[in-house]
Amino acid sequence: MSMAGKTAARPPVIPTARLTLRPFRAADAPDMVDLLTDPAVSRTYVLPDFPRREDAAGLFARLLAMSGAPEHFIYGISLGERIIGFVNDVQTGETDIELGYVIAPAHWNRGYAAEALAACIEALFALGFDTVSAGYFEGNEASRRVMEKCGMRPACKSQVIVYRGQERVCIYYEISKGAGAPGRA
């Protein structure tokens, strides 16, 4: 499934109080390659193990192409003109969507992830989705708190995945359209 079946158009940008969620630009490549190759990010967000920065640039090129496509929900999270993170569709159904999100470690603990996720939830409800979910690796309490700040609750679903040679438990949270507006950090 994709976003293509939705009647409302995906917003070109999603502004928040401090951030702008927008399609990627070619000029975002250096910030995104730094983000995609950061060891702290790869501990909490499923990414390939990039042996070279050029390999990460290849993933960014794919994200760049998809971020402007109406069938995907992929946005760079910018603070001013700099990309400090991104949000992406992981899995999309008729009425539900799973998101992934990441913020550069230099910008952790400032409420940016919750601010961006809350804005995405609002936009996705406006597009006609009924349920938005996200997952985090067990032990990543910061990500769990982000989801809770956005009104998400445990989805009674977890999954064991093998990531970088280790079994990791991914715990899912969700919010439904009728549950009220997501909180803004």
Q: Are 146 and 117 in contact (CB under 8 A)?
A: yes
**173: which 2 tokens?**
């949270």
3-state DSSP assignment of residue 18: coil
**54: which 2 tokens?**
């050029």
Query: What ranges do the domains of the chain cover?
Result: 3-130
As averages over each run of 10 residues, the pLDDT of the chain (185 residues) reads 65 96 97 96 93 94 93 96 97 95 97 98 96 97 97 96 95 89 54
What pTM did the predictor assign? 0.92
Residue 180: predicted pLDDT: 61
In the CATH hierarchy, which fold is given to the domain comprising 3-130? Answer: Aminopeptidase (3.40.630)
Give alpha helix (H) positions in 110-160: 112-127, 141-149
